[in-house]
Structure 1
Amino acid sequence: MLADQDPVVLLQHAGLNSLTGKTGLAMLRHRRGPIVAVIDPDHAGQCLETVTGISRSVPVVKDLAEALPFRPSVAVVGLAPSGGVLPEALRSDVLQALKAGLSVASGLHTHLADDPELSAAIRPGRWIWDLRCEPKGLRVAQARAAALPCKRVLAVGTDMAVGKMSACLAVHEAALRAGVCSAFVGTGQAGILISGSGVPLDAIRVDYAAGAVEAAVMDAASTLPDTGLVLVEGQGSLCHPGSTATLPLLRGSQPTALLLVHRAQQSCIHRLPEIALPPLGDLIQLCEGLASIGRPQDAGPPPRVRAVALNTAHLSDAECERSSAELSETLSLPCVDPIRQGADALLKALLAS
């Protein structure tokens, strides 16, 4: 429901320098359409690039009243607060946005349209898009994507929130620059908001999760030539005790190649230090082993991990270069940070598969 050309105001209250604001930060980094203002009272009047490191010229304002002169048409909730409940200040701006004639897009588990006051405030021709809703007409996966002629790449991560979406979008953008027909399949709230479509994997019953991914991949592939590339945003991690997302993504997408995404120098699950990450070589073998089963006999060679996308946001430039080089040598794979070093090497390796 969110079109590329829609002027967006991000509701980013206290989220410009926090992981709770990762949805809005991802939009600031990757959305090609206009973002005309960001609401964050904690940083109002400050330079966006100074606060976030994202090179994009967008004014930061304190509330919706200050954002309206920039003529947004859609207000997007850029936060992922604990429990999915809107903070009162943010809810107030959502209500004011609706009363001012804006549409609202939200990826929270709590559906805004279920709030009677918010729903009653929607102006004619406007909408609330609660994107975390299970699509209708789902079916159980049947490995149909394996018959697609195009290449299909799935991002798999060593942990949650390591940059799987950003890596896929960076490769997607590199593909478009190189003249490669490419499609991105968002599977989380930020990816869906950025691309305007996708499958909200964590809102789907487990029996239909792989089928929902399959349908989204089939739909994306239908827009591409046989030589095209479908990039599927990963979710969760096989290494995380709370994650179940990798298997339906593998089964639904039937990938032809895998892109491993890893935060450089991370050795354990974030916030669960008692759970160590396995050696990356072992994890690569595990991912490849799981991807090799549940496939039709005529599906071609099983997918391999063809490259590693590193998240080096916490490292200096010199440390980034050293970490990339060391891991590339250890794994005998291209290992680069697609945000800092570009995604061309990753694209080349994935296309060569």
Structure 2
Amino acid sequence: MNRFGNPDRNRAVAVWLFATAALVFLMVVVGGVTRLTGSGLSITEWKPIMGAIPPLNDAQWAQAFDKYKQIPQYAQVNAGMTLGEFQGIFWWEWLHRLIGRLIGLVFGLPLVVFLLCRAAPPRSVFRQWAMPDRLIWRCVVLLALGGLQGLIGWWMVSSGLSERVSVAPERLATHLGLAFVLFAGLIWTGLEAWNGEDHGRPPSGWARGATLLVCLVFLQCLLGALVAGGHAGLVYTDWPLMNGAVLPPADWSLGVGAFLHDQALTQFNHRLVAYGLLIAVSIYAFQAWRWRVAEGMGAGAFILAGVVWMQALLGIVTLIHAVPLWLGVLHQAGAAVVLAAATANLWVVLRAQPRIFISGPRSMGR
């Protein structure tokens, strides 16, 4: 609603932001397929503009295949691959990059339109599409982060073109982490555009708790990326122990790098934070039900707890089946869903109006 009535709210802007978030979610899913099929290194060049055009004839396909044959992944993993098999992995990486370009257009062009509408006369029909003042800098930051994501994507791919047969795990974690920052930022800003500015009075304890949960979810996403980048989900596929031990021997000769590259340690850390997150979100949801602090907070807490538990169970099933493609992709998509729920929950908490109790317990932190 922004028919000259509430200049702080624009639901057209909100729909645009949510649509862009949906595209980012799609890119995360396709990125998961790209990683699990070993397709990420099939395109060995970074051409932001001309790279949108795939090979169009036999000669161009042969040239692209010849370039792929020059990298270690072909020699050590895919030697003898046919052109048809190469095309199979090429199209996944090409689609992943195409969605990235599409996100740039879907976000960038409407942003210009919404900003130009601000220059329209106050009673003009175009004025209703003007972006609220307080959202401008947020959208500009999101646009800049989107551009940075493209650079980081190539930085990630380049790590697997000379000395490795896959991308560096820490670069994969950086790439996925920034995608999740963009995803959460789009959701948060979309909620702000849909509802307008509102200064609630959240109980301080609940605000801290909701913030902690967002941080734990994001950390768990990064640890999951390290597991994926190091192919650590393909080893120690028993649960709850790891090859019959709590923590199998780790290669500590790597020093601090063991936390990034050792398969046993990265999987152990991913499991450990998962347990901590399960405990924290369960306590949070129980307390939200018990104290009934503010309208809407209970629902948000229970939804978050539900998706976290579902994601944990999915992670166990994915692990014990040695990460089949469909389960691996579903688990990565689940991580995005959990982050969306945690982000929305924090947004609700920060806008909450505490209940006034006549008797009984008072809200946490008050």
* Alignment TM-score > 0.5, same fold: no
For normalisation by structure 2, the TM-score amounts to 0.29
Bigger proportion of residues as strand: 1
Under a length normalisation based on structure 1, what TM-score does the superposition of the two structures give?
0.30
- Greater fraction helix: 2
